[in-house]
Chains A and B, each alone.
Chain A
Amino acid sequence: MKLVTAVIKPHKWEDVRAALETIGITGMTVSEVSGYGRQKGHTEVYRGAEYDITLVPKIRIEILVDEDDVEPVIDTVVKAAQTGKIGDGKVWVSPIESVVRVRTGDRDEAAI
C-alpha cells in the first residue's frame, strides 16, 4: 500500500479530481494548504503600505492506493495538474504500514 500525496494549484483541483475518477479513483482527502517554493508570492497594498505575501495557497490531495495503482495515479495527477509554469506543485509517494476502515474494521487491501 502506498500514500500518494499531491500538492497542486487550487484552480487545477477539479481537473485532477475528474481525471482520477476516469481511472477509478473515487475517494481522497483534500486540504487547503499554503507554502512556498520557487514560485514567488505576490504583493498586496493597503493604504500605500506594500506587503510581500510569501505563502502561496495550494491544494493537497492524499490518496491511499494499491501498489499497482501508484503509477497510473501519478501519471493522471501530473497530466491533469500541469500548466508548465513554476508553481504547478509536486507529487510524492510514501509506503504505508497499515490501513483500517473505521466502519467495518477491514484491514489493509480490503480497506482501500
Chain B
Amino acid sequence: MIQLSAAATPDTGDTAWLLTSAALVLLMVPGLALFYGGMVRVKSVLNMMMMVFGALAVVMVVWLLLGYSLAFGDDLGGGLLGSPAQYVGLSSLVKEQAGATDQMVFAAFQGLFGAITVGLIAGAIADRVRFGTWLVFSALWTLLVYAPVAHWIFYAGDASHAGGWMLDHLGALDFAGGTAVEINSGAAGLAAAIVLGQRLGFGKDPMKPHNLTLTMIGAGLLWFGWFGFNAGSALAANHTAAVVFVNTLMAGCSGLLAWSLVEKARDGHATSFGAASGVVAGLVAITPSCGAVSPIGATLIGVVAGAVCAVAVGWKHRFGYDDSLDVVGVHLVGGLVGTLLIGLLANADVVGVDGLLYGGGLDQLGRQAVAASATFCFSLAMTALLVWALDRTLGFRVAADDEALGVDLVIHAEAAYDLHPTGGARPHLGHGSGTLHL
C-alpha cells in the first residue's frame, strides 16, 4: 500500500474516500467493543469495552505526538524507524502538502489502525487486568511495537529516503496490515496472556460468552468498518479500491461458511459464535492479501482462514495459555494464513507478481514468510518484556479477590445490566451528585 508520490495536490475524490475510510475504521472500535463485550462474562463487559475505547483514546494522542513520526517520518536508516520529531503534533501537516494523498487524513487513518491493533490485544487478557496499567501499556506498545512494524511495512519512502525494510528491501506484500495489525496483535496477545497467566478458574469454571447478540452486531460493524480498513488502504477512490472491496466482501462470506462447516462436522452444530468468528477470521486473512489476489483467491483465503482458525481456537486449551477471547486463534493464525497465502495466490493482474499457484515460483512465499516471522518474533519478544516490566512496576493484574468479584464492579464501580425492578440499590449522595435530588 501507500505510494505518497509527488503529484501536485491530492485529488478531492481520493481525499473524500480516505476521510470516509478513516471514519469507517473508527466504527470498528465500537464494533470490536461489542464483539468482545458479548464474549466475556457478565461481570467484565464494561471493562472489556472500556479497554477497547480506552486504547483508542490513548493511542490517538500518542500517535499525534510521536507515533506518526516514528511510523511515517523520514527513514533513519535501514528501513527500521522513522524520524521521531518530524511530525510532532502533526503541526507540519496543517498546511496542505504536495503529493497524491492528503497527509493530514492519512495520519488519522493510520493512527486508527494502531488503535484497533491495540484494542485487539485486550481480548487476550480479558477479565483480569488493571485499567490504568492497560492504558500505559497501550501508549508504550504503540510507540515501541506498533509504530516500528508499521514503518517496516507501510512506509513507502520517497526520492531521497528508502522505504520500510519489509516493504522496500524485502518486497513483502501486505496491503492493509496482515503483519502490522493482525500478526502483531496476535503475537502480542499470546505474549501478554502467557506473562500474565490464566484467569482464576480457567479450564474449570464456566467462561462462556454472556451475550452473543452483541458479538454478532459487533462482527457486523467490524465487517462494515473493514471496507474502510482495506479499500481505504488503496488511498484512492479507484479500481484497486473496488477490487479490494469485493475481495473483502468475499473473504468474510467464505470465512463464515468454512468456520460453520467445520463446527457442523466436528461439534454437530453451526453456531452463531462460529459464524461471527468465521467472518472475522476471513477478514483478518484478507487484510494483507486483499490487494494481491482475485476474488476467487479471496474466497479461497477466507475458506482456509475460517477452517484453520476454527481449529486454532482450541489450542489454548491444549497448551494452557489463557488467550481469553482467541486473539491468537483468530488474529495471529488468520494473519499468518493471509500473509503466507499471498505467496501462493498473488495474481499478476492484480498486483504485478504471481504466486506459486500462478506459476510465480517460491520467491514471493519466501518474502511473505520472512515478513511474517519477523513481525511475530519482534512483537512476541517486545510485548513479553513490556508486560513483564509493567507487571513488576505498576502491577498489571488485579488482586485475586477483585478478579473473582469482577472487574466491572471493582475497577469501574458499574454493572453492565440492571435487570432488577427496583434497581436493586439504594441511592445516596456522593461525589459529583450536586444536581441529584432524592
Q: Which residue numbers of A lie inside 8 Å of B, CB to CB?
A: 44-51
Contacts and interface: CB of A to CB of B under 8 A. Distances in A.
Contact of A48 (B206, B208, B209, B267): B267
A45 B267 contact: yes
13 contacts: A45-B268, A45-B269, A45-B271, A46-B208, A46-B273, A47-B273, A47-B277, A47-B313, A48-B313, A48-B314, A49-B208, A49-B317, A51-B208
Contact of B263 (A44, A45, A51): A45
A50 B267 CA distance: 9
Contact of A47 (B206, B268, B274): B274
- Interface bracket on B: 10 to 19
B244 to A, nearest CB: 29
Contacts, number: 30
Nearest to A50: B267
B266 interface: yes
A51 B266 contact: no
B266 A48 contact: yes
Nearest to A47: B313
B269 A48 contact: no
Contacts of B329: 47
A21 B191 CA distance: 63
A25 B209 CA distance: 41
B326 interface: yes
Interface string B296-321: 00000000000000100110010000
A47 B207 CA distance: 12
B82 to A, nearest CB: 39
Contacts of B266: 48
Q: Is the interface of A mostly helix, strand, loop or mixed?
A: strand
Contacts of A50: 267
A58 B273 CA distance: 26
A47 B326 contact: yes
Nearest to B325: A47
A49 B314 contact: yes
A17 B2 CA distance: 68
Interface string B321-336: 0000010010000000
B333 to A, nearest CB: 13
Most chain B CB within 10 A, of A44, A45, A50, A51, is at A45
Nearest to A53: B206
Given A46-B273, A48-B314, A51-B206, 14 more contacts: A44-B208, A45-B263, A45-B267, A45-B271, A46-B208, A47-B277, A47-B310, A47-B313, A47-B314, A47-B326, A48-B263, A48-B310, A48-B313, A49-B314
Tell me which of A44, A48, A51 has the highest count of chain B C-beta atoms within 10 A of its own C-beta.
A48
Contacts of B263: 45, 48
Contacts of B326: 47
Chain A to chain B: the 4 pairs with minimum beta-carbon distance, closest first: A47-B313, A45-B267, A48-B314, A46-B208
B363 to A, nearest CB: 36
A84 to B, nearest CB: 27
Of the listed residues A45, A46, A50, A51, the one surrounded by the most CB atoms of chain B closer than 10 A to its CB is A46
A45 B267 CA distance: 8
Contacts of A45: 263, 267-269, 271
A47 B206 CA distance: 13
A51 B269 CA distance: 14
Contacts of B313: 47-48
A46 B317 contact: no
Given A51-B206, A51-B208, A46 B314 contact: no
Contacts of A44: 208
A47 B278 CA distance: 10
A50 B263 CA distance: 12
Residue of B208, B209, B329 with most partner-chain A CB within 10 A:
B208
Nearest to A44: B208
A51 B206 CA distance: 7
Contacts of B310: 47-48
Q: Which of A47, A48, A49, A50 has the most CB of B within 10 A?
A: A47
Contacts of B267: 45, 48, 50
B374 to A, nearest CB: 29
B30 to A, nearest CB: 22
Contacts of A46: 208-209, 271, 273
Contacts of A51: 206, 208
Nearest to A49: B317
A16 to B, nearest CB: 24
